[in-house]
């Protein structure tokens, strides 16, 4: 994923895959049901242990489709379940539920049985002395699992789920052992995330001091419901990797490094694979190019590309294309500055990206980046740059918008939003007349003028009332709307793989709620229809006809222009529409002169 100036330099420390261990507390407090709320209503959530296993279950379900090359393991500590493990050794009150491996159907079925079968979790609860539980042994097992993992370049992380904020007393030998294990994990580039269950969880007792030395880890806020815990697990499991590591050129002598991120990307559908119907093996397609005149096979070096310039074809070989693409340097090149208010929202071209300073590529990048961002935010200016993300991509003109949102509940965001600006060819001219309709009117100088239909004040007020009544009070977030076709496909494949007969249906939340719309509007829609639509108008639900609907006034205008010799001043669409209504065939392929001639023949005019 890295994209540096030197293509020969590669980063061998990370190959783009995750190795995650779910470290779940299985002591007695984790199996206690959630207490009723203050108003007497019983909570619907399961016990904390079930919530943690459900997070692992959903992670496996998602990774088997989105990241099948990642590895997941589940380790329980503080449990009475024991099983000799020759691979990693024996650790007290620690049980390896699933070894570190790629997600498969067997692992998902095992967790599904634990969640849905009666008594599926009873054998894991620990009911003896809680003082014998050792967090250090559980972390030692995790360290052994990572050390014997085949891929040494994976992004290693541990998700710790517990509702016990004091597994052992402070300043005890067990805490010192846990600190030692956490230090060893940190030396092995292992990230630890604590998922505390329960709002009364006090991290200052033990875990804050334990995880304080882990620079990459973090302690999340307490979660009381399954939705909160699943959402946090999904966010931490999401891969936050830069699309490219680029150089930002302020001038010929000053530069710093940034990381380019894509905040939004489409969820792809699984690709189809062609299989041999006899052996059910994957069929590999091979393309061979040959000369149409001699039928000889062409080598890649013999292929030429061409482009048309001034009506002539110009041939380009591979070296010519490479030289054309290398005219712009890879990275950001500063062009100048513009006021932020000059950015026009309606010139939206594509989703914005995000850049953050890269201190590893160029030392001091964070200082220069911070100064540039601070000055732009205070003075209200946006830098204009040329962006070339890779050597093969086309250069783009972008505007860098400093992040100005400040949420007290969220950590401050440090960086620029990369707004892609359109070129001249990307901006289309807006023809208002083609959108709402227009009427050709014959003026006194015998010229037709197109008059656009415009609404009066009463019609505008009726439309404004409908828009205000149907406007949502909450802001739009893409996470609220899921693709039903994509989820239905995933659920169907999952049902086939797990042997399920019933496939969970997915509701299309993008469909309008007609009953709710009618209740909100009331008589406003009727008032709008009476003001805008003609009297007696009936909407046609049938398929539209290929012919232009007859308009006596329009046909009279064409016939009047034909008798007075003004047909060549009318638009081709008007002429073709008249001929279509008169039953003339082959109108779509006629040119304007042919349309004029056919109209004269139809009206018996010379």
* pLDDT in the model for residue 412: 60
Vertex 448 angle, CA 447 and 453, to 5°: 150
Distance (Å, rounded) from C-alpha 124 to C-alpha 144?
22
In terms of pLDDT, which residue wins out, 414 or 386? 386
Show Cβ contacts of residue 98 under 8 Å, excluding neighbours closer than 6 positions. 72, 73, 74, 107, 110
Distance (Å, rounded) from C-alpha 96 to C-alpha 490?
29
Top-ranked range on mean pLDDT: pick from 58-72, 298-312, 349-363, 489-503: 349-363
Look at 119-133, 153-167, 318-332 and tell me which has the smallest mean pLDDT.
119-133
For tokens 């299989």, name the residue.
275
Confidence of residue 425 (pLDDT cuts 50, 70, 90): confident
In terms of pLDDT, which residue wins out, 260 or 512? 260
Between the alpha carbon of residue 368 and those of residues 333, 344, 415, the distances in Å are: 15, 28, 12
pTM of the model: 0.65
Residues 218-238, mean pLDDT to the nearest whole number: 69
3-state secondary structure of 410: coil
* pLDDT in the model for residue 418: 94
* pLDDT in the model for residue 13: 39
Distance (Å, rounded) from C-alpha 576 to C-alpha 599?
9
pLDDT digit string, tens, across residues 451-471: 777 788 999 999 999 999 998
Comparing CA positions, the residue from 384, 385, 95, 47 lying closest to residue 226 is: 47
* pLDDT in the model for residue 40: 40
Chain length of the chain:
606
Q: Is the pLDDT of residue 434 over 50?
A: yes
Show Cβ contacts of residue 499 under 8 Å, excluding neighbours closer than 6 positions. none
Comparing CA positions, the residue from 17, 19, 21, 18 lying closest to residue 141 is: 21
Confidence of residue 354 (pLDDT cuts 50, 70, 90): very high
pLDDT digit string, tens, across residues 24-60: 888 888 887 765 444 443 444 578 888 888 888 888 8
Residues 250-267, mean pLDDT to the nearest whole number: 86
In this structure, the number of other CB atoms found within 10 A of the CB of residue 593 comes to 10
Confidence of residue 369 (pLDDT cuts 50, 70, 90): very high
Distance (Å, rounded) from C-alpha 419 to C-alpha 347?
10
Q: Is the pLDDT of residue 208 over 90?
A: no
Look at 90-104, 120-134, 248-262 and tell me which has the smallest mean pLDDT.
120-134
Residues 309-330, mean pLDDT to the nearest whole number: 81
Residue 124: both structure tokens together = 């894991």
Phi, psi for residue 75 in degrees, rounded to 5: -120, 130
Look at 28-32, 240-244, 342-346, 546-550 and tell me which has the smallest mean pLDDT.
546-550
| Average pLDDT across the chain, whole number | 79
* pLDDT in the model for residue 34: 61
3-state secondary structure of 527: helix
Residue 23: both structure tokens together = 């470290």
Comparing CA positions, the residue from 262, 249, 263, 261 lying closest to residue 362 is: 249
Give the single-character DSSP code of 30.
G
Look at 81-85, 317-321, 472-476 and tell me which has the smallest mean pLDDT.
81-85
Confidence of residue 371 (pLDDT cuts 50, 70, 90): very high
pLDDT digit string, tens, across residues 531-563: 887 766 666 544 444 444 455 556 677 888 888
Q: Is the pLDDT of residue 417 over 70?
A: yes
* pLDDT in the model for residue 259: 93
Confidence of residue 11 (pLDDT cuts 50, 70, 90): very low
Q: What is the percent of the chain with per-residue pLDDT over 90, rounded to a whole number? A: 13
* pLDDT in the model for residue 542: 42
Q: Is the pLDDT of residue 19 over 80?
A: yes
* pLDDT in the model for residue 435: 66
Asked if 491 and 560 count as a contact pair (C-beta separation under 8 A), the reply is no
In terms of pLDDT, which residue wins out, 385 or 219? 385
pLDDT digit string, tens, across residues 560-580: 888 877 787 788 888 888 888
Q: Is the pLDDT of residue 77 over 60?
A: yes
Asked if 273 and 384 count as a contact pair (C-beta separation under 8 A), the reply is no
Residues 159-179, mean pLDDT to the nearest whole number: 79
Residue 298: both structure tokens together = 């062409």
């Amino acid at each position: 994923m890295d994209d540096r100036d030197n293509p020969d330099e590669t980063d061998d420390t990370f190959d783009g895959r995750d190795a995650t261990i779910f470290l779940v507390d299985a002591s007695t407090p984790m199996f206690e049901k959630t207490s009723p709320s203050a108003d007497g209503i019983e909570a619907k959530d399961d016990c904390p242990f079930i919530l943690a296993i459900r997070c692992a279950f959903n992670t496996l379900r998602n990774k088997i489709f989105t990241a099948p090359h990642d590895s997941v393991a589940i380790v329980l500590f503080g449990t009475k379940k024991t099983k000799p493990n020759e691979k990693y050794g024996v650790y007290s009150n620690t049980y390896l539920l699933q070894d570190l491996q790629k997600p498969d159907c067997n692992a998902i079925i095992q967790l599904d049985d634990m969640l849905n079968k009666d008594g599926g979790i009873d054998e894991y609860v620990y009911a003896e002395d809680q003082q014998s539980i050792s967090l250090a042994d559980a972390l030692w097992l995790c360290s052994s699992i990572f050390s014997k993992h085949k891929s040494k370049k994976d992004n290693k992380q541990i998700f710790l789920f517990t509702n016990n904020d004091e597994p052992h007393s402070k300043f005890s030998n067990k805490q010192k052992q846990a600190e030692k294990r956490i230090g060893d994990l940190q030396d092995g580039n292992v990230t630890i995330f604590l998922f505390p269950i329960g709002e009364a969880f006090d991290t200052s007792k033990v875990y804050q001091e334990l995880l304080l030395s882990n620079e990459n880890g973090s302690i999340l806020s307490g979660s009381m419901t399954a939705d909160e815990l699943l959402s946090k697990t999904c966010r931490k499991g999401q891969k936050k990797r830069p699309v490219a590591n680029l150089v930002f050129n302020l001038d010929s002598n000053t530069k710093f490094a940034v990381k380019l991120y894509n905040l939004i990307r489409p969820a792809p559908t699984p690709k189809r694979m062609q299989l041999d119907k006899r052996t059910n093996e994957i069929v590999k397609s091979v393309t061979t190019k040959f000369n149409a005149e001699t039928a000889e096979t062409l080598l890649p070096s013999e292929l030429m590309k061409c482009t048309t310039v001034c009506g002539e074809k110009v041939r380009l070989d591979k070296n010519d294309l490479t030289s054309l693409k290398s005219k712009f340097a890879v990275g950001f090149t500063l062009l100048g500055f513009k006021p932020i208010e000059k950015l026009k929202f309606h010139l939206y071209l594509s989703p914005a990206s995000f850049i953050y300073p890269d201190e590893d590529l160029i030392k001091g990048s964070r200082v220069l980046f911070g100064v540039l961002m601070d000055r732009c935010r205070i003075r209200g200016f946006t830098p204009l740059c040329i962006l070339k993300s890779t050597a093969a991509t086309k250069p783009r003109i972008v505007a860098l918008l400093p992040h100005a949102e400040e949420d007290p509940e969220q950590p401050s965001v440090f960086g620029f939003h990369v707004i892609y600006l359109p070129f001249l060819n990307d901006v289309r001219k807006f023809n208002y007349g083609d959108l709402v309709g227009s009427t050709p009117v014959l003026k006194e100088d015998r010229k037709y003028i197109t008059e656009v239909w415009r609404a009066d004040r009463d019609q505008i007020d009726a439309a404004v009332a409908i828009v205000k009544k149907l406007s949502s009070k909450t802001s739009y977030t893409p996470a609220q709307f899921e693709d039903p076709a994509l989820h239905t496909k995933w659920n169907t494949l999952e049902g086939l793989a797990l042997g399920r007969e019933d496939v969970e249906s997915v509701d299309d939340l993008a469909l309008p709620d007609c009953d709710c719309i009618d209740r909100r509007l009331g008589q406003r829609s009727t008032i709008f229809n009476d003001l805008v639509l003609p009297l007696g108008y009936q909407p046609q639900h049938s398929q539209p006809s290929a012919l232009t609907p007859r308009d006596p006034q329009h046909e009279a205008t064409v016939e009047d222009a034909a008798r007075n010799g003004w047909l060549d001043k009318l638009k081709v669409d008007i002429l073709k529409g008249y001929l279509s209504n008169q039953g003339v065939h082959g109108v779509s392929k006629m040119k304007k002169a042919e349309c004029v001639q056919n109209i004269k023949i139809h009206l018996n005019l010379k």
